[in-house]
Amino acid sequence: MSSEKKAQSRIDELKKFAIEAGIDISDELKRIADKIGDTAKSAKAWQRVELARNPDRPRALDIIANICDDFIELHGDRYYGDDAALIGGIGFINGIPVTIIGNQKGRNLKETVARNGGMANPEGYRKALRLAKQAEKFHRPIITLIDTQGAYPGLGAEERGIGEAIAMNLREFSQLKTPVICIIIGEGGSGGALGIGVGDKVYMLENAVYSVISPEGYASILLRDSSQAKNAAAMMKITAEDVYSLKICNGIIGEPAGGAHLDPAESSKRIKEIIVRDLEDLMPRNPAVLVRYRNQKIRKFGHFTEN
């Protein structure tokens, strides 16, 4: 029996007892029920966070290998260096040439170190922009695969202008005269995710999360208690279901039972289906109209009143 069910049966016993004894405990019962509801919500949201961070989850390069007939990785930002945490290149999906850009996490310790845990430096974002402009020039659609806890908060990143690099991507991606499809495949962490996350369509895998700050960060800064991360995960509404219901993403791509890591091939197949469907829809569109719609969509984000 689940702990939730166990608690419910104890509550039923208590209710019976209270009625027999002639005591009104309805207020207490409501409080307990709310508490159980909150705990269940937190547990569900946290389960998604753990799945999104699962070390066996298919990474950008795994998905690329599965969805592309062929992929040529391209390196470097032409200013400073090559960032292994943010990869890109030209791929063929059902024979259609596309530019793919993605955050790349490692799977084991050695890879994680080499990929800086998927946290990109400015040169990563500048490489992404270079490849995006190249795609625009040669009329290739762009696919981005987002999976990062955030941009790297290091000394060098600040010296080389991580803020400027992300800002420039937000500005320039909004104006690209070629279709851009963004898919959050794992962690969509803050500005580091958004830096390759501005597009015509944004999708989330079922167990992906998308947030302005990590649940741990929210808990320690706003709740002043880092042990509250699970509650923060629920409060912040970061799951694919939440983000979709808030109309920030266009759709959710279902994962095989238990999570994408249990069947990467099937997960990739579902991602590919969405990409192929959307390319058919977006590629024939007039680029100027595409850009106008993209910006209209972006400018609608937000809730306020003017009275």
Binding site for other proteins (CB under 8 A): 151-155, 157-164, 166-168, 170-172, 174-175, 190-191, 194-195, 197-198, 210-213, 218, 221-222, 235-238, 243, 246, 248, 295, 298-299, 301-307
Report the residue number, 233 or 282, with the smaller CB distance to other proteins: 233
Distance CA 74, CA 168 (A): 20
Q: Could you tell me the smallest distance in angstroms from the CB atom of residue 197 to other proteins?
A: 8
- CB atoms < 10 A from the CB of 41, how many? 16
Nearest alpha-carbon partner for 74 in 44, 97, 107, 57 = 97
- Output 17 or 79, the one with its CB closest to other proteins: 79
* 145: DSSP letter: E
Min dist. Cβ of residue 46 to other proteins (A): 16
Look-up: residue for tokens 């369509």? 201
Residue with smaller CB distance to other proteins, 64 or 236: 236
CA dihedral 4, 9, 11, 12 (to 10 degrees): 140
Nearby residues of 209 by Cβ (< 8 Å), 6 or more positions away? 48, 49, 52, 184, 187, 188, 233, 238, 239, 240
Q: In the bound complex, what is the minimum distance in angstroms from residue 155's beta carbon to other proteins?
A: 5
CB-CB contact of 208 with 240 (8 Å): yes
Max CA-CA distance within the chain?
79
Between 110 and 299, name the residue whose CB sits nearer to other proteins.
299
> Rounded distance, CA 27 to CA 234, Å?
24
Closer residue to other proteins, CB minimum distance, 46 or 218: 218
Structure-derived torsion over alpha carbons of residues 117, 118, 119, 121, reported in degrees to the nearest 10? 120
CA distance 169 to 194: 9
SS3 state at 136: helix
Nearer to other proteins, 247 or 277 (CB): 247
Least CB distance to other proteins at residue 184 (A): 11
CB of 153 to other proteins, least distance (A): 3
Closest distance of CB 277 from other proteins, Å: 24
DSSP state of 196: T
Q: Toward other proteins, which CB reaches closer, 84 or 162?
A: 162
Q: Is 117 helix (H, G, I), strand (E, B) or coil?
A: helix
Q: Are 253 and 206 in contact (CB under 8 A)?
A: yes
User: At closest approach, how far in Å is the CB of 176 from other proteins?
Assistant: 10
Q: Residue 164 or 280: which CB sits closer to other proteins?
A: 164
CB of 172 to other proteins, least distance (A): 7
